[in-house]
């Protein structure tokens, strides 16, 4: 059964737009608010190539991929931004799990990312909140963060690659959900007293109340999705 929800999206606070060089930032665990990286100032904030860049190079080169052995490792004052993650130099951070490559929060034990090399950590954008050092941390509902980040990724990827169908995979490579982006320019308008429609149209359970005034408006993307779980949608 295909389900058609609306996903709220905060276009004003995408990761690429909020991170700037020569500014100091604090990185918090999204789940509990514990500080992960404190007062880190970046000299360079650079976008990473597409996750499938290596396969594209092989299509364009008539000789073996010259970058096959090359890896991108940020220096201490670098931040590299991917579609769903960002890379930082580990520096003096001590969130690594001794058992494997997982990077976990010391307070709530949530998985924040994974180690890529001895000095490089990959943090997932849905697990970390980034704020300028002069700002304090304000908790945001978990589902609201995930919903907004998923919507941002869908919009950015569809704009860059002209594709509108996506799969969400786990660390084990298993596909958990199929998503089809219908449109990304929906403006959702609702009066202060009529929040019941959100339980029908939003994928996650939060109610997004207007910040001020009797009418609230926010951007949203409209998608179709189909779960791919055990005993359902085996095809």
Say whether both 95 and 161 belong to one domain.
Answer: no
Taking the complete model, does pTM exceed 0.85, yes or no? no
- Residue 196's alpha-carbon distances to 61, 184, 211, 212, in angstroms, are 55, 22, 17, 18
Question: Per-residue pLDDT for 103 more than 50?
Answer: yes
In a domain, residue 233? The reply is no
Using DSSP's 3-state secondary structure scheme, residue 38 falls into: strand
**8 Å CB contact between 137 and 26:** yes
**Residue 197 confidence class, pLDDT cut points 50, 70, 90:** very low
How high is the pLDDT of residue 206?
47
Say whether both 35 and 128 belong to one domain.
Answer: yes
In a domain, residue 33? The reply is yes
First to last CA, the chain: 13
- The larger pLDDT score, comparing residue 220 to residue 28, is at 28
Say whether both 126 and 147 belong to one domain.
Answer: no
Say whether both 21 and 123 belong to one domain.
Answer: yes
Last-in-domain residue among 102, 132, 162: 132
The tens digit of pLDDT for each residue in 61-92 reads: 676 665 555 567 899 899 998 878 899 998 76
Say whether both 34 and 80 belong to one domain.
Answer: yes
Backbone angles phi and psi of 11, in degrees to 5: -70, -20
How far is the C-alpha of 115 from the C-alpha of 98, rounded, in Å? 11
- The larger pLDDT score, comparing residue 57 to residue 45, is at 45
Domain count, the chain: 2
Last-in-domain residue among 132, 153, 185: 132
Say whether both 18 and 64 belong to one domain.
Answer: yes
In a domain, residue 5? The reply is no
- Residue 132's alpha-carbon distances to 17, 28, 31, 146, in angstroms, are 13, 11, 18, 21
Last-in-domain residue among 132, 161, 188: 132
How far is the C-alpha of 223 from the C-alpha of 178, rounded, in Å? 10
In a domain, residue 85? The reply is yes
Q: What share of the chain in percent tops pLDDT 70? A: 69
How high is the pLDDT of residue 25?
93
The tens digit of pLDDT for each residue in 3-54 reads: 677 777 775 556 666 788 999 999 999 999 999 999 999 999 998 876 665 5
- The larger pLDDT score, comparing residue 187 to residue 115, is at 115
Domain limits at 217?
A: 142-227
């Amino acid at each position: 059964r295909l389900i058609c929800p609306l996903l709220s999206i905060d276009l004003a606070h995408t990761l690429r737009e909020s991170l700037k060089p020569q500014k100091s930032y604090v990185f918090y665990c999204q789940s509990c608010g514990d500080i992960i990286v404190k007062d880190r100032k970046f000299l360079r904030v650079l976008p990473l190539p597409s996750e499938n860049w290596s396969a594209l190079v092989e299509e364009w080169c008539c000789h073996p991929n010259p970058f096959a052995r090359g890896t991108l490792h940020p220096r201490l004052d670098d931040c590299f931004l991917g579609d769903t993650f960002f890379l930082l130099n580990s520096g003096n951070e001590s969130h690594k799990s001794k058992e494997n490559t997982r990077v976990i929060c010391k307070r709530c034990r949530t998985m924040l990312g994974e180690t890529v090399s001895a000095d490089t950590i990959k943090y997932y954008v849905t697990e970390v909140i980034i704020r300028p050092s002069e700002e304090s941390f304000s908790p945001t509902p978990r589902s609201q963060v995930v919903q907004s980040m998923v919507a941002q990724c869908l919009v950015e990827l569809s704009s860059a690659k002209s594709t509108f169908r996506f799969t969400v995979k786990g660390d084990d490579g298993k596909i958990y959900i199929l998503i089809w982006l219908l449109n990304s320019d929906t403006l959702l308008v609702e009066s202060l007293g009529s929040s019941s429609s959100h339980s029908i149209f939003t994928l996650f359970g939060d109610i997004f109340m207007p910040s001020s005034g009797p009418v609230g408006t926010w951007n949203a993307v409209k998608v179709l999705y189909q779960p791919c779980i055990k005993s359902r949608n085996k095809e």
